[in-house]
Amino acid sequence: MNLREEINQTIRSIPDFPKPGILFKDITPLFENQKLCTRMVEEMIAQTPVKPDAIIGIESRGFLFGFLMANKLDVPFVLVRKAGKLPYKTLSFKYDLEYGSSAIEIHEDALKKNWKVLIHDDLLATGGTAAAAAELVKMSGAQVAGFSFIVELEFLKGKEKLKSHSNNITCLVQY
Ligand code: AMP
């Protein structure tokens, strides 16, 4: 079975979670299959045209594969978390949600100037969260080398929101 088919068959779709009308893509069954996880990490790295200086993982599911990719590439892994979770001095970026707003943060010393940074999350929906992470990269004086996701919800056109930051956007499966 090819990688795409195997991921498709493993990810579960949960209707009306966490609220009515959302079809939630549950990636947790992937973690029961170590060989599949290894192939996913290798493929996400292979799809990235430049070797980044660091990888960002977005809270919380972006931490899982983001850290594996960073370790495999032998580059630092940097956490982007929801406001108030990181213990040291932070840079913060506020962005709009469907209802209300949210803020994400990064440690102010986590990225070095001019580093090329790959931003990873489990899923690309509207692109608002990943675009906010890109703003944090720029506020740190670093550059966005690209974006890497496991799942893209194509109908939400999240890629459009990210293109101004980088055209290098890869996703292993689309729905
Ligand atoms: P967005 O900012 O709209 O691109 O939303 C992306 C973030 O929300 C990611 O961190 C995802 O984990 C989460 N997310 C959004 N929609 C879904 C969904 N249908 N299934 C699972 N996670 C989702």
In whole angstroms, what is the distance from residue 147 CA to residue 53 CA? 14
Question: Could you please report the per-residue DSSP string of 18-64?
Answer: SSTT-EEEE-GGGGG-HHHHHHHHHHHHHH-SS--SEEEEETTTHHH
Q: Residues lining ligand 1, CB < 6 A? A: 22-25, 58, 61, 121-129, 158
Provide the token pair at 134: 């890109």
Alpha-carbon distances, residue 30 vs 12, 45, 66, 104, 133 (angstroms): 9, 18, 14, 26, 25
Instruction: Establish if 39 belongs to a structural domain.
Output: no
Instruction: Establish if 93 belongs to a structural domain.
Output: yes
**pLDDT tens profile 133-159:** 999 999 999 999 999 999 999 999 999
**Which residue's alpha carbon is at the smallest distance from atom 13 of ligand 1?**
123
User: CATH number of the domain that 167 lies in?
Assistant: 3.40.50.2020
Instruction: Establish if 61 belongs to a structural domain.
Output: yes
Instruction: Establish if 123 belongs to a structural domain.
Output: yes
Instruction: Establish if 11 belongs to a structural domain.
Output: no
Q: Which domain holds residue 121?
A: 50-174
List active site positions: 61, 98
Atom of ligand 1 nearest to the CA of 161: 4
Share the mean pLDDT of the chain.
97
Q: Distance from the CA of 125 to the center of ligand 1, in angstroms?
A: 5
Instruction: Establish if 155 belongs to a structural domain.
Output: yes
Find the length of the chain: 175
- Kind plus residue range of the DSSP H or E element containing 109: none
Instruction: Count structural domains, the chain.
Output: 1
Q: Distance from the CA of 149 to the center of ligand 1, in angstroms?
A: 11
Instruction: Establish if 12 belongs to a structural domain.
Output: no
Atom of ligand 1 nearest to the CA of 129: 2
Mean pLDDT, range 106-135, rounded to an integer: 98
pLDDT at 124 over 80: yes
Provide the token pair at 63: 């931490």
Atom of ligand 1 nearest to the CA of 121: 10
Instruction: Establish if 5 belongs to a structural domain.
Output: no
**pLDDT tens profile 45-91:** 999 989 999 999 999 999 999 999 999 999 999 999 999 999 999 99
